[in-house]
Amino acid sequence: MANSGLSVLRARMLAGGMHALHAVFPPRCIACGEEVGSDFGLCLSCWEQTSFATGTVCDACGVPLPGDDGGEAVLCDDCLTHPRPWTRGRTAMMYSGVGRDLVLAFKHADRLDLVRPMAGWMAQAARALITPDTLIAPIPLHRLRLLKRRYNQSALLAKAMARITEREGCVDLFLRTRNTPSQKGHDRGARLANLSDAITLNPARADLIAGRNVLIVDDVMTSGATLGAATQAAMHAGAGRVDVVTLARVAKAP
């Protein structure tokens, strides 16, 4: 009872401290800076301009689809045309509008304060994929690119997701063996060729993966080539199942 009473007292003190802090520094929208009701939130206008992937979604990439799936797995045209090597996939939002602005701020403007809300959105999107033994791991960066960027955004998201979902995470499960050129502007064939044998399992982490369900985390999915390369590396290492989750999905032009 004493411990319980202390916990309640600490919670009240923390809540009081937060109320006092908010009185001086009210919470602001993470996109536009307008005052909002809670930390790490979006204002109504920015929320409406963020295309979260909800409702009926493609079972392989998470892109929203029209209609009702009736409880069965459905695929978008892109995933039907290009079958994925992973089992299931989800995304938190589409790469458009305010969502695109947030992704670019996170990747190129050092907005590390966005990790917490973004990881929360991704954990919510991937909730149906996560099992008790799920191992959460990010797409890796080559060490030279990591030196240039100073951090791997996918690793930050994976680490935060593991904490939110209370699952095991491994930020160095995969290694980038070649410093591949940027995928930007390349067609699907060039992207696949660019990533050939570029991602492997970290030998030091081989004991973690056998028979496990692995959830691979990436920031943005365009063609799926990078996620496919990591999926193949995980399957070759003996993973029981591989799923993927991304922060944003680039919609294929009609």
Does pLDDT of 5 surpass 60?
A: no
The candidate with the shortest Cα–Cα distance to 224, out of 170, 254, 183, is: 183
Does pLDDT of 37 surpass 70?
A: yes
Instruction: Identify the pLDDT of residue 13.
Output: 45
H, E, C per residue of 17-30: HHHHHHHHCCCECC
> What tens digit of pLDDT does each residue of 147-182 get?
777 789 999 999 999 999 999 999 999 999 876 655
The candidate with the shortest Cα–Cα distance to 167, out of 123, 228, 112, is: 123
Q: Using CB atoms within 10 Å of the CB of residue 240, give its burial: 0 to 12 exposed, 13 to 18 middle, 19+ buried.
A: middle
Q: Are 243 and 87 in contact (CB under 8 A)?
A: yes
Instruction: Identify the pLDDT of residue 251.
Output: 83
> What tens digit of pLDDT does each residue of 219-237 get?
999 999 999 999 999 999 9
Under the banding of pLDDT at 50, 70 and 90, the label for residue 197 is confident
Listed in sequence order, the DSSP H helices in the chain are 2-24, 44-48, 77-81, 97-108, 115-125, 143-149, 153-165, 188-194, 225-236
Question: In this predicted model, which residue has the larger pLDDT, 135 or 15?
Answer: 135
Under the banding of pLDDT at 50, 70 and 90, the label for residue 1 is very low
Under the banding of pLDDT at 50, 70 and 90, the label for residue 7 is low
> What tens digit of pLDDT does each residue of 113-143 get?
999 999 999 999 999 999 999 999 999 987 7
Q: Are 124 and 213 in contact (CB under 8 A)?
A: no
Least confident of 24-38, 51-65, 238-252: 24-38
| Helix (H) or strand (E) segment spanning residue 200 | strand 199-201
| Cα torsion 44, 50, 51, 52: sign | negative
Question: In this predicted model, which residue has the larger pLDDT, 86 or 146?
Answer: 86
The candidate with the shortest Cα–Cα distance to 159, out of 137, 134, 129, is: 137
Q: Which residue has the tokens 């299931």?
A: 88
The whole-chain average pLDDT of the chain stands at 87
Percent with pLDDT over 70 in the chain: 81
